[in-house]
Structure 1
Amino acid sequence: MRFFSVLYNKAMGWSRHRHASRWLVLVSFTESSFFVVPPDVMLAPMSLACPNRAWHYAMLTTVASVLGGLLGYGIGALAFSLVEPLLHQLDYWDAYLKARLWFENWGGWAVLLAGFSPIPYKVFTIAAGVVAMPLLPFILASLAGRGTRFFLVATLMRWGGVRMEVALRKYVDVMGWGAVVIAIVGYLLLSR
């Protein structure tokens, strides 16, 4: 069944679209404060499709993500009571509490780590606003964490280039179905 090949081909087609950069900026900005799709899902295929523009895409993603992080910071500082129910509803409350604990223990290093890791960055941007983290360290940590992550993704895609695109196209269905099996097994093991 070639389900993942179809998705891969569509993603690669979209990544070459003339408005792809605008969508990348929008996704990067919104993911830092409220949207759930990480920008990596656009950055990687765009960097793979146009390796010579990979670092340009990484810069767009980083800047838009940090600006979106400032929106998240503002939400935490000015409107936390409005978003608290959403954190509960979207099952981010435990992550928010963990972010608060990290701020108490490590301060700005928590933002740096969250910016680089797969931990939801939006939770940390909101928490930074709630605890009134100083703005300059927040921006610098966000630039360092997000920039490192996005430039790493772009560099790997640029390095792999056409060879990686061909290899992914060849094995995408096997990898996709393998990920589905791993996710199901993991869910079954963790739900006991």
Structure 2
Amino acid sequence: MTRRRTFLSGVAAAISAAGLAGCQGQSTDEDTGDNKAGGQPTKTVSSDMQSGGRQLAFGETLSLPRADLTLSNPRTMDSYDWHKLSEDERRVARAGEGKQWLKVDIVSANTADRVVRLPLTMDLKGVVGQTVYHPGRNKSPQEKYIGGKVPAGESREGSMAFLLPADVSVGEFRAHYTEHRSNGKTEAWWVP
């Protein structure tokens, strides 16, 4: 029995060492986008997504049952500064070669007299032409929009970052919101 324990301990140590060997890369203060070849996951806009929904200009508010949602100020940038809440050290999130960040500000507010779940970032997509872009990692905890449950009268503010090709203009970008709630499906588009 002792030999078996010794053998198993040795195997576990070898597996741990091999698994951690891949994690010993150099760390930098810069981030190049998603660190994935090709950027964010994308897909073609489905015919279901192309039709329907309210059309709003950026800055206009979508009134939902028990919540309001406003998307505004779409803007592009090659990089943005950020820092962890526990640190003062500034870091840079770079979009990477051939890409750019497009940030959109979001405000959602609970308009009910009880706790309500505000829209989540997974309910929002960016669309350019026929391609859908999912919100990327907004590294700045101070600026990141986080939906979810909030008490009556409270709101959440922040921004979402989309990683897009460098040649896309703000005028080509549309934001799409869709969600299934108890009262049915809600869909809206914010356009320039």
Q: Which has the higher strand share?
A: 2
Output the TM-score relative to the length of structure 2.
Answer: 0.23
* Higher RCO, 1 vs 2 (CA within 8 Å, ≥6 residues apart): 1
Output the TM-score relative to the length of structure 1.
Answer: 0.23
Q: Which has the higher helix share?
A: 1
